[in-house]
Amino acid sequence: MERLLELPLGEWHRIAMATPKEISRELECALTGALDASASAFEAWRARDDVTTLLFRFECAEGRLLTRPRGTLMHIRCVTERAALAVLVRDGLAESDFVGLIGGFAELHR
């Protein structure tokens, strides 16, 4: 989460918008299975809550311009939350599933 806190809004927006909102059923199942196997409900809630909290960074002039098109902020939230959950259970995911789940956020995990 610290990486998102330090990431310029324009960069976060670029990464998120380059990440598809829709994923395959197989990736959804891989994430759900890994969450069920290795993360508590509290840990998953905390990851989602952290993302929601960090999204308030878009409540400024620059952020409002970036998220002006309808659905943009929801897209950013969806893909960022999915990436955060994948990072939380990374050890329980195959590498290809992890990369598929985090999408463009992979560049932050090199």
pLDDT by 10-residue block (mean), the chain, 110 residues: 89 96 96 94 96 95 95 96 96 96 88
Q: Is residue 88 part of a domain?
A: yes
Q: Is residue 99 part of a domain?
A: yes
- pLDDT at residue number 110: 65
> How many angstroms separate the CA atoms of 102 and 98, rounded?
6
Q: Is residue 2 part of a domain?
A: no
- pLDDT at residue number 108: 86
- pLDDT at residue number 46: 96
Q: Using N-to-C axis directions, what is the helix angle for 25-38 and 95-102, rounded to 10°?
A: 110
- pLDDT at residue number 86: 96
Range of the domain at 95: 9-13+24-109
Q: Is residue 4 part of a domain?
A: no
Residues 6+ positions from 10 with CB-CB distance below 8 Å: 62, 66
- pLDDT at residue number 33: 96
Q: Is residue 49 part of a domain?
A: yes
Total number of domains in the chain: 1
Q: Is residue 33 part of a domain?
A: yes
Q: Is residue 68 part of a domain?
A: yes
3-state SS string for the chain: CHHHHHCCHHHHHHHHHCCCCCCCHHHHHHHHHHHHHHCCHHHHHHHHHHHHHHHHHHCCHHHHHHCCCCCHHHHHHHHHHHHHHHHHCHHHCCHHHHHHHHHHHHHHHC
| Cα 28–Cα 43–Cα 24 angle in degrees, nearest 5 | 5
Q: Is residue 43 part of a domain?
A: yes
Whether the model pTM is above 0.85: yes
